[in-house]
Structure 1
Amino acid sequence: MAKGSSIQALYELSKKTFTPSAVSPSSKSIWKLCSLMDTISPAEVGLKEDVLDDDRGHGFFESNPFKSLVRAAQWAQPITYLDIYECDSFTIGIFCLPTSSVIPLHDHPGMTVLSKILYGSIHVKAYDWVEPPCISNSGQRSEISVKLAKYQADTVLSAPCPTRVLYPKTGGNLHCFTAITSVAVLDVLAPPYSEVAGRRCTYYHDYPYSTFSNVKELGMDEREEDYCWLEAMEAPDNFYMRSGRYTGPPVKQELCFPGSCTIA
């Protein structure tokens, strides 16, 4: 399958899996992608664990191209994004997080996301929306509007571990990351964020279920600690992501979907 590198193989398999006409990829296709990502090491994407130590906020860096995702702040620990490939149907990239840095709670509207931890340990907290939607404007802070979500994960993941997958409505579509050590995560997003297409990244603040507990009566087999209320918010001021340079093997493009692909 591979033509020179695992990243080349990942690009080619992603291109077959995530096409403009594909409403949702098959479970078999996702399994193949996960199996391939499970085999990718830091060295294969140009990363060396021993030289990627913490990089705690040292002033301003180059402007961030992902304006729908982040807001720069001088005092924040910078998270670095390495752009490997991008087109209208999917993106491939790596997030490098220094110790204790946080990617705040956010969503992936209408998206499938595959995440492979290349090195390090990270705490993951993930939710899915409760269906049908349960929205509240009640409570002591009546000026806010919150929506009910259910916990899907609250765990620590350390490399090596299997590639995780989230889907538009399942698997923890809303999640936040906290780096326990310096960590790198290889991501495939399909389709990518696009404000024009209505896929805007939204950030959230979570409240304990008891804050608005009078809204929904839980069943006998349900626990309050399995639920929380989420309030949409702007990106935190201290969330800072910068663009880095990918030094691994480049993607060699062949034929691609008409009008959809760009050179990374």
Structure 2
Amino acid sequence: MPRGNKTPLIQKIAKQACVTFKELRSSANFSDKQQELLSLVTAVRAADLRISSRPSSGAAGQQQSPPVTYMHICETDQFSMGVFLLRSGASIPLHDHPDMNGMLKVLYGKVRVRCFDKLEANATNNLVIPEFNPPLTPLQTDNLWRSVLRSVAEYTENSGPCLLTPLRDNLHQIDAVGGPAAFLDILAPPYNPDDGRDCHYYSILKTVAEKQTSNKGKSSEEHGEEKEENKEIWLLEIPQPEDFGCGGEPYPGPLVSI
């Protein structure tokens, strides 16, 4: 059941987010304020937002709904906050958060998060580009990025938040594992294309040599990714995948005033 506090937990989170992300330019204060926010976000559960776990499948019309939906809670110039709901097997493709901080806290279910970082501003400057299969066009080469896979981790409602910064774990892919899942999402500052904070999508490329090696070994993808952590990987910036869509639905939880 939702907690009986006079001030709902999600309201406390929103107020602390306002305080925290106003301190972004003051590193000394930001660290302390972020820890206070992290403590509040760690405690949040689905019941606090009046959200219940969705069935894995079967309900009429459910399969026609988007695989991913978003519940908007609030937004200011400093941050945005909402809930993403993923159907069983759904995925939010690999994407970035330019110059943004973020927290992801699972409310129910389990998600696997793969985090990447770009290694430099321009991937093709003074670098020898390997041979890919299929080969890239000149236009694609201009959208090529050298990166590193930082981590592959799974999160449940009992896990702490997954954190991202402008320089660390900034690109990630999120997959629902073993059933439907939902997570609270806080981004600071919010996406804003006019300020250079637009969302970009990426696909993972394999070089000809990597494909030849992978064809010889039959290890699972997850095991392979664990072995590949901190290894350089090439990413290609792509349009939003055609098979990915994000719908919207009303947020049923306590109103947030900011």
Indicate the TM-score class for this superposition, using the shorter chain for normalisation.
Answer: 0.7 to 0.9
Counterpart of 1:185 in structure 2 is: 183
Counterpart of 1:22 in structure 2 is: 24
Task: Work out which of the residue numbers 86, 89, 95 in structure 1 matches 2:75.
Answer: 86
Structure 1: distance between partners of 2:26 and 2:242: 35
Task: Work out which of the residue numbers 11, 31, 38 in structure 2 matches 1:34.
Answer: 38
Structure richer in helix, relative to its length: 2
Structure 1: distance between partners of 2:58 and 2:167: 35
Verify: 1:105 aligned to 2:94, yes or no: yes
Structure 1: distance between partners of 2:208 and 2:31: 37
Q: 1:56 to 1:106 in 2, by over 3 A?
A: farther
Task: Work out which of the residue numbers 162, 165, 168 in structure 1 matches 2:163.
Answer: 165
- Write the mapping of 1:1-264 to structure 2, written as runs, cut at 5 A: 4-19=7-22, 22-23=24-25, 26-49=30-53, 52-54=54-56, 77-131=66-120, 133-135=122-124, 139-140=131-132, 141-143=135-137, 144-145=140-141, 146-170=144-168, 172-180=169-177, 181-208=179-206, 226-253=231-258
CA contact (8 A) 2:116 2:148 kept: yes
Structure 2: distance between partners of 1:245 and 1:90: 19
CA contact (8 A) 1:57 1:75 kept: no
Aligned partner letter, 1:184: A
TM superposition shift of 1:163: 1.1
Deviation sequence 1:162-219 (CA, Å, 0-9, x none): 112100011x110001101211110110001111111010000111366699xxxxxx
> Alignment length, in residue pairs?
227
Aligned partner letter, 1:47: I
Aligned partner letter, 1:251: V
SS in structure 1 opposite 2:247?
strand
Deviation sequence 1:69-106 (CA, Å, 0-9, x none): xxxxx978421101000122101100011110010000
Structure 2: distance between partners of 1:45 and 1:121: 18
Structure 2: distance between partners of 1:240 and 1:93: 17
Q: How large is the Cα RMSD of the aligned pairs? A: 2.9
Structure 2: distance between partners of 1:48 and 1:223: 36
Structure 2 unaligned spans of 5+: 212-226
Structure 2: distance between partners of 1:238 and 1:223: 27
Percent of residue pairs bearing the same amino acid type: 29
Q: 1:204 to 1:58 in 2, by over 3 A?
A: farther
Aligned partner letter, 1:156: E
SS in structure 2 opposite 1:34?
helix
Output the TM-score relative to the length of structure 1: 0.77
TM superposition shift of 1:118: 0.9
TM superposition shift of 1:247: 0.7
Q: 1:117 to 1:133 in 2, by over 3 A?
A: same
CA contact (8 A) 2:49 2:253 kept: yes
Q: 1:224 to 1:186 in 2, by over 3 A?
A: closer
Aligned partner letter, 1:5: P
Q: 1:225 to 1:115 in 2, by over 3 A?
A: closer
Structure 1: distance between partners of 2:67 and 2:43: 28
